[in-house]
Each structure stands twice: as C-alpha cells, then as structure tokens.
Amino acid sequence: MATGGVYGLIALGFVLIYKATSVLNLAMGEFMTLGAFICFTALTVMHVPFTIAFILTIIFSILLGIVIEPLILRPMIGEPIISVIMVTIGLGAILRGLIYMIWDPTYRAFPQIFPPEPLKLGFAVVPSGLFWGFLFAVITAAVFILIFKFSRTGVAMRATAFDQQAALSMGVSVRGVFALSWSFGAIAAVIGGIVIGNISGIDIYMGDIGLAVLSVIILGGLDSIGGAILGGFIVGVLQNLVGLYIDPLIGGGAKQVAPFFIVLIILMIRPYGLFGKVTIERV
C-alpha cells in the first residue's frame, strides 16, 4: 500500500503538470531523486530537524518548478509532442548527471525520521516506515485536492486546464499558473521521493520508478487527479501481488515489469484510462 501511496504521489505530479500545461514530464523521476537527496543532505550535513529539512526541500522544489518552466518548457509551446517529450527527457538527463556529479552514486540509508516501532493495526503488524509513508502520501494528496477545490489558485488552475483563452480573458495569469503547476508537480514528486527514500534508502537510480508510474497515470487517465491516486494504489497492490505469487514461478524480476504489462492491457481495453477525458478529434 505504501508503494501505492508513493506511486499515487508521483502520478499526481504527472497529472498536475499535464492537466495545466499538456506536457508529460518524463523527468519526474529525477525531480523525485533530487528532492530525496536534498532532504537527505539537509538532515545529515546541516543536522536540522526533519520539519525544517522538509520545508527546505519544498521551497527548493517550488523554485525548481518556477525556474524550469519558463526556461525550458515555454519555448516548446506549439511544438510537436515528440519535441516536448524529448525536452523533458533531456532535462532528466541533465538533472541525473548533476545529481551524480554532486552526490556519489553510492547507496545510502535515510536517517530515521519516523518512530521505529512497528505498528499494530488490529489484524496486522505494519513496519512503521510503510505506515508513515502511506499516511504522508494520503495527506499530501488530500491537501492538493483541497487546494484544487477551494482555493483561488486552485480555481485558477482548473480554469486554465479547462480553457486557456477563457481563463486568460477572465484575468487569470496563465503563465503564473503554468509555473505554479510545475512547482506543484515538483512538490508532489519530491514528497514521493522523501517517502520512498525513507522506506528503502536512496541512490541515484531511484528515479527509474518515475517510468513505472506511467502505468498509474495510464490506468487513471492522464488528466484525472482522483484517478492518479486510485491508480497508484491499484498498481502498488497489483505489483506486490505479482511479486508475491508470480515471481517465485519464474524466478524473480516480474515485479518490476508488472506495471508495463498493466499499461499494455489497459491501452488495449480503455485507451483513455479509467477516468480520463475521451477527446473527440476533428480535422
């Protein structure tokens, strides 16, 4: 379930960006890694308490979104999809290289943030990292949904996603919304990174999970926030079930590819996901 929570969070990051700017950000995994590393450095090198490290990471991810969007993505408006995707892949390569240059590629364990005792939840004993990770994911998702539903910014973002020109004429700063949604996406990814770093430690290859998350957004639909969260849990659970029941049969490894099988199956049956918008095309 915690894996599902993290998947849901990163998928949320994808969806937040896609909904407002119609860009599929394949550098999401690198955002996540970067966030985890920054939080890690704040905790171990600067020795600040977790709350401050967390806030620092969030501030950083906001800056990341605000810097990257106008610099790299804005010139891409109106370009074909392939260019937009490739620009995010290039961005991912840059970030990955930079992370590699600044921090070593070695694996590290995350310092203990949550109380270490396993929790007893009635019928089952849950490792604390998983439980807190799950809780974290759910809270973040809820906060994002509330922002979207009730705050002025959220309304502006929804308006932009619905119709950019109409939003523009109603006085919404579409540019601001674009930058903001990149920031929001980065925040979601970064929190996902912290949670997963907490469960299984961090190294520079943890960003690969970003690609597995694609199956989540395909399942939920590229533009559905609820779908992203729900899809995250479904894929997380399915993946662990596959790991449990199918891995022993074929000797391991099935867990990692399971999300991609899910993608193919969904695309065959419901090409626009469970909750995605079905677009009508006209020539």
Partner 1 sequence: MRCGDFKENYIKDEEIFPSSLAKFSLAIFLVFLALFPFIANAHMLYIANMIGFAIIGAIGLNLLTGFTGQISLGHAAFIGIGAYTSAILITRCGVPFWASVPLAGLVSALAGMVIGIPSLRVKGLYLCIATLAAQFILGFVFVRWESMTKGITGIHIPPPAIGDLAFDTEKTFYWITLFFVLLGVGYARNLIRSKMGRAFVAIRDRDLAAEIMGINLFRYKLSAFAISSFYAGVAGALWVSFLKVVTPEHFPFMLCIQYLAMVIVGGLGSVIGSIFGAVFMTLVPELLNVLSDVVKAYQPGMEKLIIPFKQVVFGFLIVGFLIFEPRGLAEIWNRVKRFFTLWPFSY
The footprint of partner 1 (CB under 8 A) covers 24, 72, 75-76, 79-83, 85-87, 89-101, 211, 214-215, 218, 222, 250-251, 253-254, 256-257, 260-261, 263-264, 267-268, 271-272, 281-283
Residue 53 Cβ vs partner 1, minimum distance, rounded to whole Å = 25
**105 contact partners, CB below 8 Å, separation of at least 6:** 203, 204, 205
Identify whether the C-beta of residue 100 lies closer than 8 Å to the C-beta of residue 204.
yes
**CB closer to partner 1 out of 45 and 268:** 268
31 Cβ contact partners less than 8 Å away, ≥ 6 residues apart: 13, 25, 61, 64, 95, 185, 186, 189, 190, 193, 210
**Structural contact between residues 195 and 27, judged by C-beta atoms closer than 8 angstroms:** no
Q: Rank residues 162 and 261 by Cβ distance to partner 1 and give the closer one.
A: 261
- From the CB of 54, what's the least distance to partner 1, in Å? 27
Name the residue with tokens 């770093």.
Answer: 197
| Cβ-based nearer residue to partner 1, 105 or 171 | 105
- For residues 149 and 80, give the distance between their C-alpha atoms in angstroms, rounded to a whole number: 32
Sign of the alpha-carbon torsion through 109, 113, 115, 119 = negative
Beta bridge pairs of residue 124: 121
Query: Cα separation of 181 and 49, whole Å?
Result: 28
Minimum distance from CB of 36 to partner 1 (Å)? 17
State the minimum distance, in angstroms, from the CB of residue 96 to partner 1: 6
Alpha-carbon distance of 90 to 136, in angstroms, equals 30
Tokens of 134: 């799950």
* Residue whose CB is less far from partner 1, 46 or 211: 211
- Closer CB to partner 1, 156 or 209, in the complex: 209
Residue with Cβ nearer partner 1 (194 or 213)? 213
Q: CA 201, CA 196: separation in Å to the nearest integer?
A: 7
Pick 58 or 179: Cβ nearer partner 1: 179
| Pick 75 or 115: Cβ nearer partner 1 | 75
Cβ distance 26 to 208 under 8 Å?
no
Reduced to 3 states (helix: H, G, I; strand: E, B; else coil), residue 242 is helix
What is the nearest approach in angstroms of partner 1 to the Cβ of residue 94? 3
Q: Minimal distance in Å, beta carbon 266 to partner 1?
A: 10
The distance of closest approach from Cβ of residue 75 to partner 1 in the complex, given in angstroms and rounded to an integer, is 5
CB of 213 to partner 1, least distance (A): 11
